[in-house]
Amino acid sequence: MEPERNYFNIKGPEEINREMVDELMAGGMTKEEAEKEAARRMDLRKRGMREEADKNL
């Protein structure tokens, strides 16, 4: 099992997609929740799991 990643420490424009954060916030998330979720999805996409990353959009 993969260790849990700490998404709060991820920084940089390549890690957190601003458009995705805006979409998530429009869906009712707080800014902090949206940033964490966007970072998680970007990480999944980088690792080739786009379907998993986009499943809740």
| pTM to 2 decimal places | 0.57
Give residue limits of the domains in the chain: 12-49
Identify which of 22, 55, 21 has the alpha carbon closest to the alpha carbon of residue 36. 21
Sign of the dihedral through C-alpha 40, 45, 50, 54? positive
**Residue 57, amino acid:** L
| Per-residue pLDDT tens digits for 9-52 | 555 555 567 888 888 999 999 999 998 888 888 887 777 776 66
